[in-house]
Amino acid sequence: MKITVVGTGYVGLVSGACLAEVGNDVLCLDVNPEKIRILKEGGIPIHEPGLDQVVARNIAAGRLHFTTDIEEAVRFGTVQFIAVGTPPDEDGSADLQYVLAAARNIGRLMTDYKVVIDKSTVPVGTADKVRAAIADELARRGVEVPYSVVSNPEFLKEGAAVEDFMRPDRIVVGADDEQAINLMRALYAPFQRNHEKLVIMDVRSAELTKYAANAMLATRISFMNELAVLAEKLGADIEQVRQGIGSDPRIGWHFLYAGCGYGGSCFPKDVQALIRTAADAGQGLKVLQAVEDANDAQKMVLVEKVVARFGEDLTGRRFAMWGLAFKPNTDDMREAPSRVIAAELFRRGATITAYDPVAMPETRRIFPDEPRLSYADRPMAALKDADALLIVTEWKEFRSPDFNAIKAALRSPVVFDGRNMYDPALPREAGLEYAGIGRK
């Protein structure tokens, strides 16, 4: 099948590469010539485990191509995925200008039947706007060309996106006509050989499903974070509570870890967009607003612990920070708790030496020429002359450190664990002051 993917960001590049992996002929379009140059030369503009091998393998096989030529891209695929960014507007709503620009380009240049698939995370009603944009361009040309518009939201986890695409737990398809549904079944047949994974629904329900899924996961995180704060006040241990409630099959184990807040490109943006969608429909989402408020507060919890230990004025204090990305296995710094924590420590006069396996280049871009921020080439090197260690991202290489070496390296034997990576007894046995999130 010939497939065009508009956008070579996180969703577009993973989708295009994985569709090529199962034998499709895929052309990825991006208007950024530098990004296309990097991809054609074998580079990957994002960090995603395993993606570089999939891209390289399919370029070599002649199944994956890249272009900046819009006309070529529209002409190429019967299937046209729209996978462009939908950044939040000032009011929190999703900005659809890139989605609708892609739709207008398709309508302006198409000459035969197309299935236009919204892969980007978009508000309910976007498919109607895409359909109208294409119809408007066709009307301007004075031609009638058949097309279908489908909602096919992605459910990829950063750090495991290739695996998620190749072995999905469900494939949500919102479509109104049988021809488009049949094409989607054929498109995704290679990904569901074991059992049926397609969930067919109407377009608006598919659009809402994506937001509802991310909002539910964000709700679980914020609930556990608020419960962790309460556990500390009550003398309880949130890790023991997690095990107690996670063993209930009605609740399950996923997304029950307390920490220093969620971030990334999805949860914050999608929670805000859903709140805005509800407001536009005349309904308030009180629970979801509380989820966002709780997350904003949680990003300050580590700083509050630092202040409680070292005082309001942190001038002259240096802190080591392990982890910068919003989660492991990615270099994504969007809405990362580390950004909020660093900014507040800087405001209070502190300096930071940071280490992250992959996110330091992106951090340098976000904090250019920041004299109070330096970087280490390995975790232990970040501890030199530091008053305390802050753990902000739960990378695997932080899981089993030498606590005696940490104590010896720090000026003050203090560890603030924002991801509850350790049994508190272990660092304490080494003589470290240890403060987790919601731990005894």
Short-list 24, 37, 100, CA closest to 68: 37
SS3 323: coil
Cα 284 to chain centroid distance, Å, stands at 25
Q: Characterize the bridge pairing of strands 414-417 and 388-391.
A: parallel
Other beta carbons within 10 angstroms of residue 135's beta carbon come to 15
Contact at 8 Å (CB) between 157 and 189?
no
Phi and psi dihedrals of 435, rounded to 5?
-130, 115
Query: Rounded to an integer, what distance in angstroms lies between the CA atom of residue 173 and that of residue 153?
Result: 8
Q: CA-to-CA distance for 232 and 225, rounded, in angstroms?
A: 11
Find, among 302, 316, 321, 317, the residue nearest to 382 by Cα: 321
Residues in the chain: 440
Residue 83 near residue 98, CB atoms below 8 Å = no
The helix or strand, by DSSP H or E, that contains position 351, with its residue range, turns out to be strand 351-355
Query: Would you call 260 a catalytic residue per the annotation?
Result: no
Nearest C-alpha neighbor of 210 from the set 266, 167, 165, 169: 266
Which tokens go with 76?
Answer: 């190429």
In the set 18, 28, 260, 266, the catalytic residue is 266
How many other C-beta atoms are found inside a 10 Å radius of the C-beta of residue 138? Answer: 18
Tokens of 266: 């999805």
Active site residues: 266
